[in-house]
Each structure stands twice: as C-alpha cells, then as structure tokens.
Chains A and B, each alone.
Chain A
C-alpha cells in the first residue's frame, strides 16, 4: 500500500479548527535533519549535521558546552530565525516537509513544535491563562467550557492538576520552580504539538522536581517526539531511547542510548562519557 503525501503545513490556516497531528510516512522518522549547518555571522557553529529523530521516543543531545546541541535544537522550531545574523543551511524535515521553506509560517510551526527552556518562563498571568493563552491564539476552543477542558487536560497530563486545581487564578509565578516547569510543559501541550523540544529542562530544579519531570517525559513519549538537550549524562541515560553526541559543532556519534552508554563506537564519545576530557 502506497502512503499518500501528507497535508503540507502551508495549508493549515490560523483560526481553523485544530492544528492536526499528521502521521509521518510509514517507517520515516518524525524529524529528519539533512546536512544542517548554522552560521552566526562568519562563525560556523554547526557543521553538516544529519540526524533522524523518531516519533513516540526521546532523543537526547549530549556534548560539552559550545558543541552546538542547543543551536541544533533551535533549528527544529526555527528559533534561530529570531537571532540576528544567524543563518541556517540544509533541510529540517518534519513529516517529510522541509520547515525552512519560505512558505512555512513559523508561528504555526511553533504550535506543532513546543519548546521548554532551562529557566521556567511562565507568563505573568494566572495559572489558567498561562495554559489557555496558546490555545486561545490558535482558536482551539469554541466555548468557555471547551477551554476549561483543554486547560484541565493539559495540566493533568503535565502532572500538575491536583496541585493547582483549587488555585487556577493564582499567578503562574507563585508556583515553585518544579511546578513552573510543569506549567510550562502544560502550556506547550495545550496546543497539541507533535514534537516537544527541551533545552536542559531540569538544570534549575532540585532532584525531586527533576524526578517528576523525568516521569512526565516517560509518560509523554508515548504520544510525542521529544528531543532533549542535557548536560547530565545520567539524565540522558535515564530518559532517552536514542542519544546523539555533539562535539565542536559536529555530530560525532548517534545510536540507541543503551549502546552509547555501554559500548560507544567513537573514542571521542567514549572519552566524553567516561570523563576523560584530557
């Protein structure tokens, strides 16, 4: 059976029903980077990176500071567009469609590809409005009741509902660091993304909050493609199924997490993960 080509992103317009999730062609990865290079002015930060990121799985990007992993992460929702002088070369395909084409609306893209940052950044709004904001912008609810359902479902899936259900109109900033991060994840989930990018989501959190986020990632991966940048190799080992090691802007090695951490092929990967930085 031949799979037909999917609905291209350009045909989804603002104000129409829901940004629908599109199934990738059979056996294709959800996200495919092809020979991606990134330049900040004259300086090249990423060199010819090609990487597949499968759906319903967590891919971890690891490597020393300055290796380009966050730069690469930002390519996937075109956050690099917002950086002056930044130029992206190569293709990033989501469901087989290159998102770098001029015809792609980055705002719509960022509803499909949610992002969570190291420092939780709830809006200066109530807990409810934090989650509802994106859903409102994208016209995802046609009534107050529907919106309330979206907010409750998102907070539930983010593991935060029980802790905040009695104070939905308190400010988002009144929550603890770990709760704020889960609020931000609920906000991302509310617009039904297909992909969630996480840039060191637990670096600012204590071990208990970290464990709760990791548990959440475990649950979320049955529905989303998740890509996580992390400094902690132990975390990469715990949460991901695939790991990619970056060094000096190049992708050195990629593979199943289990193999990368028990028997990596490249000596540079081995040196990095065993702490022989010499």
Chain B
C-alpha cells in the first residue's frame, strides 16, 4: 500500500507491525524450546521458556496501548481499521500461545522427575507440526498472504488427528501400566496445550483473511471431534 499522506500515521502502523512481529518471534521460540525441553528432558531449557513469558505479556500490553492510541487519534478506516483490529486480536492470540508454551515447559520439568514414557516421540512429532503451523501463519500475516493463511486453517485437521491419536496412545499406556499414569497425565495436558495452540493458529489465519479481504472465513472449519471418535 502507498504511504499515508500524513507520514506519522504510516509510522504508527509500521511500529505496530514491528511489535506484532516481535511477539510472533518470541512465541515461536518459546514453543519450539518447550517441545525440545519435553523431548530431551531438559529442565534448564524449560526454565528459560518460563522466564520469557513476561516479555510476551509486556509486548501485548504495549501493542494494546498503541492500538488504543491509533483508534482515538487517527480514526483509521477500511484496511487501516481492519489492520488495527486484527493486530489487537492477533496480539491476544500470541499472548495465549506464549502462556500455553510456558505451561508445556512447566510440565517438562515435572516429566524430568518421572520415568520416560514411550509416547514422548508422538508428543514431539505433534509439537513439530504445531510449531510449523505457527511459523507458516506468522509468515502469512507478515506477507499478508491469504492462500498461505487458508492452508494453515485447513491443516488444523491434521493437528486434531494427532491429538486424537496421542490421546488413545496415552490411554493405552495408562491402562497397561499404572506406574505410567503420572507421566501420561502430564503428557495428556501437553498434547491438549498443543492442540489449543493449533486452534490459536487457525484464529490468526482467520484474522489474516479478514484483514486482506474484509470477509470472514466460514465459522465451521473441518474438525475431528474427540468425543465421537473413540
């Protein structure tokens, strides 16, 4: 898009984009480090993830201040308005992703203290898929590409399938050997957190689509329903 006639307006929008990009980068790093901490039983790495969470929270607060200011002082319209509102929603999604990554990291520390569970590999695989989804949707946001965003939106079905399969696998472990219940229960939570991160990625994809086209994606995306697939 061409520059705003009042250049400070363009500068304000640009600054907001930079803040969001920083949040995205932080969320991506936290997530991949949290998965790594689970897979390699690395408590020290887990600690660094937990320590980074306040940064992403602070960035969200800063972004919201800027957005409020933009709305009040600039009265953005059309695409500028959609960009501002999308930034507000995406910042909230990224902050939640940061929280979920932090929770995964906390579980990593607990898992360190119990016997390793065979399902760790499956969790790590799901983690890598979700990490890739997050990267793809953030790239789509940065490039304002709806095709790429739509692909992430559609691919969430795969994330749900991973979750279903892990769920069943973990149940099997727990039924076979009650000593694994503690570890498996934590891994269930980790899998659930990953599945939630996947959902947040589709929300971001929807925002990208709205920002670019001014239209909403359909409310129902392809879903695999846990309660019906046993």
Give chain A's interface residues, CB within 8 Å of chain B. 233-234, 237, 261-264, 270-271, 273-278
Cα A253 to Cα B173 in complex, Å, equals 64
26 contacts across the A-B interface (CB closer than 8 A): A233-B77, A234-B75, A237-B77, A261-B78, A262-B77, A262-B81, A262-B82, A262-B214, A263-B78, A263-B215, A270-B78, A270-B79, A274-B4, A274-B77, A274-B80, A275-B4, A275-B6, A276-B1, A276-B2, A276-B3, A276-B4, A276-B5, A277-B5, A278-B2, A278-B3, A278-B5
The smallest C-beta distance from B215 to any residue of chain A, in angstroms, reads 8
Cα A135 to Cα B78 in complex, Å, equals 44
Interface size counted on chain B using CB atoms at 8 A: 17
Q: Contacts A262-B214, A263-B214 known; A273 to B78 CB distance under 8 Å? A: yes
- Residues of B close to A262: CB separation below 8 A: 77-78, 81-82, 214
Q: B191-221 CB contact bits vs A (8 Å, 1 = yes)?
A: 0000000000000000000000011000000
Q: Which of B1-47 contact A (CB under 8 A)?
A: 1-6, 9
- Residues of B close to A276: CB separation below 8 A: 1-5
A275 lies within 8 A of B9 (CB): yes
Q: B48-84 CB contact bits vs A (8 Å, 1 = yes)?
A: 0000000000000000000000000001111111100
- Residues of A close to B1: CB separation below 8 A: 276
* Chain A residue with Cβ nearest B74: A275
* Chain B residue with Cβ nearest A263: B214
A271 lies within 8 A of B2 (CB): yes
| Besides A237-B77, A263-B78, 14 new A-B residue pairs in contact (Cβ under 8 A), listed by A number | A233-B77, A261-B81, A262-B77, A262-B78, A262-B81, A262-B214, A263-B82, A263-B214, A271-B2, A273-B78, A274-B78, A274-B79, A276-B3, A277-B5
Cα A41 to Cα B77 in complex, Å, equals 38
Cα A265 to Cα B84 in complex, Å, equals 19
Cα A146 to Cα B6 in complex, Å, equals 55
Q: Which of B173-193 contact A (CB under 8 A)?
A: none
- Residues of A close to B80: CB separation below 8 A: 274
Cα A261 to Cα B3 in complex, Å, equals 19
Cα A237 to Cα B79 in complex, Å, equals 15
Determine which of A261, A277, A278 lies in contact with B77 in the assembled complex, contact meaning CB atoms within 8 Å.
Answer: A261
* Chain A residue with Cβ nearest B75: A234
- Residues of B close to A270: CB separation below 8 A: 78-79
- Residues of A close to B77: CB separation below 8 A: 233, 237, 261-262, 273-274
Cα A212 to Cα B80 in complex, Å, equals 29
- Residues of B close to A278: CB separation below 8 A: 2-3, 5
* Chain A residue with Cβ nearest B1: A276
* Chain B residue with Cβ nearest A260: B78
* Chain B residue with Cβ nearest A259: B214
The smallest C-beta distance from A204 to any residue of chain B, in angstroms, reads 22
Cα A2 to Cα B221 in complex, Å, equals 47
Q: Which of B77-95 contact A (CB under 8 A)?
A: 77-82
The smallest C-beta distance from A210 to any residue of chain B, in angstroms, reads 15
The smallest C-beta distance from B88 to any residue of chain A, in angstroms, reads 15
- Residues of B close to A237: CB separation below 8 A: 77
- Residues of A close to B78: CB separation below 8 A: 261-264, 270, 273-274
* Chain A residue with Cβ nearest B76: A274
- Residues of B close to A234: CB separation below 8 A: 75
Cα A49 to Cα B16 in complex, Å, equals 40
Cα A276 to Cα B5 in complex, Å, equals 5
Cα A262 to Cα B76 in complex, Å, equals 9
- Residues of A close to B3: CB separation below 8 A: 276, 278
* Chain B residue with Cβ nearest A269: B78
